[in-house]
Structure 1
Amino acid sequence: MTPEDRFPGPEHPDSGPRHQPDLDVLPYGTYYEPDPNGGYSPTGYEAETYSGYGGARYLEQHWPATGPDQGHTVHSQNGPPEQAGYEPTLPDHPSPAHGGHPGDGPGPQSDDPPTIELGPPFAEPGQPYHPYPAPGPGEPPGPLYVVGDVHGYLDELRTELRHQGLIDADGHWSAGRSRIWFLGDFTDRGPDGIGVIDLVMQLAAEAAAAGGYCRALMGNHELLFLGAARYGDEPVQSTAGTASFLAAWRLNGGQQSDLERLEAHHISWLSRLPAIALEDGHLLLHSDTTAYLEYGESIPEVNDAVHDLLADEGVDEWWDCFRRFTKRFAFRGDAGPTAVRELLDAYGGTRVVHGHSPIPYLTGAVNSDDGMPPHVPGPYVYAEDLAVAMDGGVTMEGRLLVSRLPI
């Protein structure tokens, strides 16, 4: 099991409630590597590197084997990660209709749209709020970028955004009508999660003024961070006994300095983030799980259900939502393409783009003989080219990925 997202509870590595992929062999996939000369092509990547990652020995150490070893391991696995952990799971139960439990009931009791435009929820005194201008007649939208899990690594985020030409040397938006989607997980493990949130909120306002936009999805660590702030040590009912949001947050790399600097406008902004979005045929998710289907049959239904839950439901419902969106690995293995198609059929799009599961775990390249950090040349395309993984494993000395779509 990965050291990601741990809290007391039993472990089921497959996050897809409808499928049980073969966990002996990880899927073949494709890395897309940046231009070694430092420039970027119009599509963002020049060189395609085809890689067959088996990772069978690593999986045998952490998950029950269900079949013969059929993989080709290109990085040797010397043993388990330094910290063994638990990934959340839920007992089998019927999916709620149209969000059901925990998202049953009418939509939000406010005028907020289901997918809120990302920007400061409250205008600064004396500063006008800039709406997102639509492209003029015949004017195409700007290029589309996605950002993988940041986890508090503010300096690395600035470096990558600057490398892509999206911000200037002073950290301000410099990308005109470009569009950016952050895939969630701003905080925890890294040193400055609040700094990351402040930067994204700043860029949202600056991009809007320039005719572009900067938006973000809600990751499982947003749910965890908000839960720790709201419920603290209040007990929650888990399948393995009683725990709390605060305990789980600390176990998963929560930084006390982030909690101390969390303000009301951060809470308002985070709690209104959408869980799922569709841009240019790309279905954008934080987690590589089919649990989104348990919250609605359309993107507005899913986002409404999550927003309703955060606004009105209690600690156990919130905890249940956190656990569902912490599941992972639904798109790998033989059943992975089927799981991806299930989401695409429900919500639209031709390819899923997600964060959450670090690429070194998807490829089996967690450990190496020489003890060097895992090599992550770029986004990882897998599941019959239907899924793009964007979590470069910055928390494990991998990379913080910022990439232009399509890949």
Structure 2
Amino acid sequence: MTPEDRFPGPEHPDSGPRHQPDLDVLPYGTYYEPEPTGYAEAAYESETYSGYGGARWLEQHWPAGGHDPQAEAQHGQHDPQAQAQHGQHDHQAQAQAAQHGGHAPQAAHPGYEPTLVDHPSPAHGGEDPPTIELGPPLPEPGVPYHPYPAPAPNEPPGPLYVVGDVHGYLEELLAELRHQGLIDADGHWAAGRSRIWFLGDFTDRGPDGIGVIDLVMQLAAEAAAAGGYCRALMGNHELLFLGAAKYGDEPVQSTAGTASFLAAWRLNGGQQHDLDRLEAHHISWLSRLPAIGLEDGHLLLHSDTTAYLEYGDSIAEVNDAVHDLLADEGVDEWWDCFRRFTKRFAFRGEAGPMAVHELLETYGGTRIVHGHSPIPYLTGAVHADDGQPPHIPGPYVYADDLAVAMDGGVTMEGRLLIARLPI
């Protein structure tokens, strides 16, 4: 099997050194660096530069000598004490959510009353919602109810933000959301009618993937109550995480022999404590995420690949195809979808703009915004000779200004990026 996104994590004692090849083709692009906002630079760097480094070059092939199951099992282990330090959510509230069919996100505060809304499917002229919509918060007994004001007629939508790959780095996400003024000091929605799209890859590699998912689900509820929204795309790590939970060690036929989702998940940075905390409402929410979104002329993708074209000629067709595959198809079809969405670097080099145009002409929009491929690899900054973490001043614009890369490489001591569009 050849998933391009392999992440082996800390090297095992018997694995030997790994060669880190230079990129053969570098893109031509520029950084976008927002204007200073008065936020102390030193404090900003201390909060957003991660101490959980250890990324390796994205290898093109699995080792030919097979895998050590014992070593793989040890790879995903996590210290229970550390787990408790990264944003655990109230299990009683989760149990209450399960009473509503196991689909409702955890309430943002005790006054929430989850309500599942029936939305039209793309086949009936609409699009599947990428989040479970909740009604406005209900007041606690004796507390006056002050709902958010409804949008005025012809009122323009709120500002649009995108969030790059998080990979379990909850504290970095909270720090950047606070820095952007999107949440308050207690971690609750403070962005009014703003619109936020997460570009996928919530879990794996970092310390608290489930905590990240819980936060995004909470913000989706609070944003809906405020007249905005918080939505998310399905990344290849969502496909991998769900596949590991559903199929475990069931064999998968791949181009390099027989493997399993669980083994691939562990080798790609899967954390056992995330799998242990995965619940039915997480699975339901993740399984409904769309693969593509379109907002204000921005075609939102997780992966910088043209593989989306293999699943349909419209956004609705692609999203339906992925949802149908997750609901009805078998392990080999699921694996093939994961493999396709791990492809990368389609928009760099001389042929990059042509690939971007092909997607834009098919699905609409004037520019692609994506995650998946860390900017340090796109630019070659990962190979700094001084050994310092890569400097990522902001999103990376390339492919004749037609593509914006948003994965700041938080897993490799880069930066978790949030940007307001347009750039």
Question: Do these two structures clear the TM 0.5 threshold for a shared fold by scoring above it?
Answer: yes
**Consecutive unaligned residues in structure 1, runs of 5 or more:** 9-22, 40-80, 89-109
Cα distance in 2 between the residues matched to 1:356 and 1:145? 17
Deviation for aligned residue 1:85 = 2.6
Q: Is the 8 A contact 1:194 1:262 kept in 2?
A: yes
Q: Is 1:117 matched up with 2:125?
A: no
Q: What is the identity, as a one-letter code, of the residue corresponding to 1:209?
A: A
Cα distance in 1 between the residues matched to 2:218 and 2:165? 18
Q: What is the identity, as a one-letter code, of the residue corresponding to 2:32?
A: Y
Cα distance in 2 between the residues matched to 1:158 and 1:393? 16
Aligned to 2:59: 85
- The 3-state SS of whatever aligns with 1:177 is coil
Deviation for aligned residue 1:370 = 1.2
Q: What is the identity, as a one-letter code, of the residue corresponding to 1:281?
A: G
Aligned to 2:92: none
> CA 1:87/1:321 → structure 2, altered by over 3 Å: closer, same or farther?
farther
> 169, 174, 185: which is aligned to 1:169?
185
Deviation for aligned residue 1:28 = 1.4
> 263, 268, 272: which is aligned to 2:284?
268
Aligned to 1:12: none
Deviation for aligned residue 1:111 = 6.5
Q: Is 1:282 matched up with 2:294?
A: no
Where does 1:219-234 land on structure 2 (aligned, <5 Å)? 219-234=235-250
Aligned to 1:70: none
Aligned to 2:25: 25
Q: What is the identity, as a one-letter code, of the residue corresponding to 1:364?
A: G
Q: What is the identity, as a one-letter code, of the residue corresponding to 2:257?
A: G
Q: What is the identity, as a one-letter code, of the residue corresponding to 2:121?
A: P
Deviation for aligned residue 1:27 = 1.9
Cα distance in 1 between the residues matched to 2:351 and 2:3? 24
Cα distance in 2 between the residues matched to 1:353 and 1:124? 31
Cα distance in 2 between the residues matched to 1:207 and 1:121? 9
Where does 1:236-247 land on structure 2 (aligned, <5 Å)? 236-247=252-263
- The 3-state SS of whatever aligns with 2:197 is strand
Deviation for aligned residue 1:24 = 3.9
Q: How many residues align?
A: 328
- The 3-state SS of whatever aligns with 1:215 is strand
> CA 1:394/1:3 → structure 2, altered by over 3 Å: closer, same or farther?
farther
Cα distance in 2 between the residues matched to 1:396 and 1:402? 17
Cα distance in 1 between the residues matched to 2:5 and 2:246? 19
Cα distance in 2 between the residues matched to 1:149 and 1:162? 17
Q: Is 1:157 matched up with 2:173?
A: yes
Deviation for aligned residue 1:33 = 1.1
- The 3-state SS of whatever aligns with 1:366 is helix
- The 3-state SS of whatever aligns with 1:273 is coil
- The 3-state SS of whatever aligns with 1:293 is helix
Cα distance in 1 between the residues matched to 2:376 and 2:185? 31
- The 3-state SS of whatever aligns with 2:300 is strand
TM-score (norm 1): 0.76
Aligned to 2:76: none
Cα distance in 2 between the residues matched to 1:328 and 1:364? 15
Q: What is the identity, as a one-letter code, of the residue corresponding to 1:368?
A: A
Deviation for aligned residue 1:249 = 0.1
> CA 1:256/1:121 → structure 2, altered by over 3 Å: closer, same or farther?
farther
- The 3-state SS of whatever aligns with 1:5 is coil
- The 3-state SS of whatever aligns with 2:188 is coil
Deviation for aligned residue 1:263 = 0.2
Q: Is the 8 A contact 1:379 1:401 kept in 2?
A: yes
Cα distance in 2 between the residues matched to 1:118 and 1:206? 15
Hey, which bits of structure 1, 4+ residues long, moved more than 6 A?
121-127
> 196, 199, 212: which is aligned to 1:180?
196
Q: Is the 8 A contact 1:7 1:86 kept in 2?
A: no
Cα distance in 2 between the residues matched to 1:133 and 1:344? 36
Q: Is 1:382 matched up with 2:382?
A: no
Deviation for aligned residue 1:341 = 0.2
Q: Is the 8 A contact 2:299 2:366 kept in 1?
A: yes
> CA 1:125/1:174 → structure 2, altered by over 3 Å: closer, same or farther?
closer
Cα distance in 2 between the residues matched to 1:239 and 1:327? 15
Aligned to 2:379: 363
Aligned to 1:397: 413
Deviation for aligned residue 1:34 = 2.5
> CA 1:254/1:216 → structure 2, altered by over 3 Å: closer, same or farther?
same
Aligned to 1:103: none
Q: What is the identity, as a one-letter code, of the residue corresponding to 2:351?
A: A
Deviations for 1:249-277, whole angstroms, at most 9, x for unmatched residues?
A: 00000000000000000000000000001
Deviations for 1:65-107, whole angstroms, at most 9, x for unmatched residues?
A: xxxxxxxxxxxxxxxx75663369xxxxxxxxxxxxxxxxxxx
Deviation for aligned residue 1:116 = 3.0
Q: Is 1:335 matched up with 2:347?
A: no
Q: Is 1:212 matched up with 2:228?
A: yes
Deviations for 1:356-394, whole angstroms, at most 9, x for unmatched residues?
A: 000000001112111001110000000000000000000
Q: Is the 8 A contact 1:120 1:202 kept in 2?
A: no
- The 3-state SS of whatever aligns with 1:36 is coil
> CA 1:83/1:405 → structure 2, altered by over 3 Å: closer, same or farther?
closer
Deviations for 1:211-247, whole angstroms, at most 9, x for unmatched residues?
A: 0000000000000000000000000000000000000
Cα distance in 2 between the residues matched to 1:308 and 1:320? 14
**Consecutive unaligned residues in structure 2, runs of 5 or more:** 9-22, 40-54, 63-117, 140-147
Cα distance in 1 between the residues matched to 2:61 and 2:198? 23
Aligned to 2:334: 318
Cα distance in 1 between the residues matched to 2:58 and 2:158? 43
Deviation for aligned residue 1:191 = 0.4
Query: How much is the aligned-residue C-alpha RMSD, in angstroms?
Result: 2.8
Deviation for aligned residue 1:35 = 2.2
Aligned to 1:34: 34
Q: Is the 8 A contact 1:4 1:252 kept in 2?
A: no
